[in-house]
Amino acid sequence: MKQETNIVSASLNGVRCSPRKMRSVVDLIRNKEIQKALDILTYSGKKRISFFLKKLLISLLSNWKQKYEEFSSGEELYIKEIKVNQGKTLKRLRPVPQGRGHRIRKKSSHVLVFLEKRKEM
């Protein structure tokens, strides 16, 4: 017995933003319809992060079109799951008094998104 699922995924790796900041924006669009999520990201306060997430959602819609060939207005498509994980950390030294150096950690993020069609009731 084969169960048919309408799920498409897209990922974004190595975004130069800490996972904590990324999760604050991602929480706004979790379980939302795709068009609402794009609107939220357009008018979001954190412009740099929302720009990358917006490109990711557009890529996700493109993946949906390639896989299923039929695309309606996007009303029934929603973000089923979105995960943010920590990527590589760049380690730099900053000079401080008395010849010492303090370490600066520049974190990056990996984002994974799943898109699904809402089931008709």
What pLDDT is recorded for position 1?
52
State mean pLDDT over 16-42.
94
Categorize the per-residue pLDDT at 2 as very low, low, confident or very high, splitting at 50, 70 and 90. Answer: low
pTM: 0.85
Strand partners, 83: 112
For the chain, what are the domain ranges? 7-117
Chain segment 54-98, per-residue pLDDT in tens: 999 999 999 998 888 766 655 588 999 999 999 999 999 999 999
Residue labelled with tokens 């695309």: 71
Whether 85 and 109 have beta carbons less than 8 Å apart is answered as yes
CB 82 within 8 A of CB 113: yes
Q: What is the reported pLDDT for 41? A: 94
* Residue 120, pLDDT score: 66
Name the CATH architecture for the domain at 7-117. Alpha-Beta Complex (3.90)
